[in-house]
Copies of this chain bind each other. A is one copy, B any other.
Amino acid sequence: MSRTAVIGAGPCGLAQLHAFEQARLDGVDVGEVVCFEKQSDWGGLWNYTWRTGLDSHGDPVHGSMYRYLWSNGPKECLEFSDYPFDEHFGGPIPSFPPREVLYDYIVGRAKKSNVRQFIEFDTAVRQVSFDDATQTFTLAIESWTSGESSFRTETFDYVIVATGHFSVPNVPEYPGFESFPGRILHSHDFRDAVEFAGRDLLILGSSYSAEDIALQSLKYGAASVTIAYRNAPMGFGWPDGIAEVPALQHLDGRTAHFADGSVRDVDAIILCTGYQHHFPFIDPALRLTTTNNLYPGGLYKGVVWTANPKLMYLGMQDQYYTFSMFDAQAFVARDVVLGRLPLPGNDTMAADVAAWLGRYAEVASVMEQIDFQTDYVRDLMTLTDYPAFDLDMVRQHFVTWEHDKDDSITGYRDKSFASPCTGTVGPAPHTTWWDELDDSLARFLKR
């Protein structure tokens, strides 16, 4: 009987446990599957924590989630094809739910497939190494399940890394940071926009975090938000109170100086400068090293570590597709473990990766990125029995969504989309996003 370790019980890890369980329900011997989760509960980033910095065990806090986060893409683009939103909520709900609603949905499927029994909570994997002689992995494990810290090692035939890549911030330094009279934080440590009510904020970045935290902060009372970009502005039609300026040069006290010569006095600085793929617990020889992009090298089908195919990584791509892509990947990883998906030789795997990387090098626009990842998911779907959904519809949703954001950055979350699984069209929300301050599930689902 094989032993498989899954590291992390967030969306990827839960997708993996669910995938194994589907096979087991079909009568397949899936061996022993053990999932290690260092947090006390499941859901990964979607398991909100008020903590920042280090957790109660002195470990880096995994969470980057903040209060008042609404999905920034249509929920129909991330729907589980074997567990549609209609099934979970008993009917249609609007297309852009807040965090608690998506958490409820992720956890709902995990409860239905009864996978909690496979998870060891409060348990961190400290080291993963591979023994060539025995062809097994040794995991050094620290656990606090008894209240106190305890250590042990276990051996596994397969290891599936599902620890995400939006937990370890990339934190640049600018001249004057050391004497700035106010808070400087990375978006990883952003928790509650109310903290910045009445304050003048400076945000560095030009991707999703910068966009969303700027809007959140203004919505919850910031006096002004200045967004500094390095290469190009996001260029949305910002509401009054948000402005984009060229790159920050330096700070002099609380005065920020920008590349166009303009200056601005600010009270706090939020670095929306992205995340690192960071796996300090994996032996360097087995460790994925990549920037955040749509096709990290070294992973066959974006999942299998070609240098040692008993090691797999889930969800390491930059993402348009999320939960459904994780599912498609998890079914691939499962079928590799089960021997249902025979892997070609190393040269063939490397050639496949090279072909994808070659195509990726040609991608020049957001629309081409959407097409690229759509084709990647389409390829994954040919490999397993993960239930089909209308991929072309999802692709079109992403295109429409990008246009909606250009039309109205404060209004795009009021739009409705059709489900690629059931066809159900999400109803309009009872309150427009810009006017809705209550992000609770109860409020969102109220008719």
Q: Which A residues contact B (CB, under 8 angstroms)?
A: 48-56, 58, 60-61, 67, 126, 151, 168-169, 171-173, 177-186, 188-189, 191-192, 194-195, 267-268, 276, 278, 280, 284
Contact = CB atoms under 8 A, between A and B. Distances in A.
Given A184-B50, A268-B195, A171 B278 contact: no
Contacts of A186: 53
A186 to B, nearest CB: 7
Contacts of A169: 53-54, 58
Contacts of A267: 195
Nearest to A127: B127
A266 to B, nearest CB: 12
A58 B281 CA distance: 12
24 contacts: A49-B178, A50-B177, A50-B184, A51-B173, A52-B53, A52-B185, A53-B188, A54-B168, A54-B188, A56-B171, A56-B172, A58-B60, A58-B168, A58-B169, A58-B276, A58-B278, A60-B60, A67-B179, A67-B181, A182-B192, A182-B195, A183-B191, A195-B267, A195-B268
Given A52-B189, A54-B60, A183-B191, 16 more contacts: A50-B173, A50-B177, A52-B53, A53-B60, A53-B169, A53-B185, A53-B186, A54-B168, A54-B188, A55-B171, A56-B173, A58-B276, A58-B280, A180-B192, A182-B192, A182-B195
Q: Sort A-B residue pairs by CB-CB distance and give the 6 closest, nearest first.
A: A181-B194, A58-B168, A53-B53, A58-B278, A183-B195, A50-B177
A248 to B, nearest CB: 14
B58 A180 contact: no
Given A60-B60, A195-B268, A284-B151, A180 B50 contact: yes
Given A58-B280, A284-B151, A194 B182 contact: yes
A126 B173 CA distance: 25
A40 to B, nearest CB: 11
A202 to B, nearest CB: 14
Contacts of A61: 53
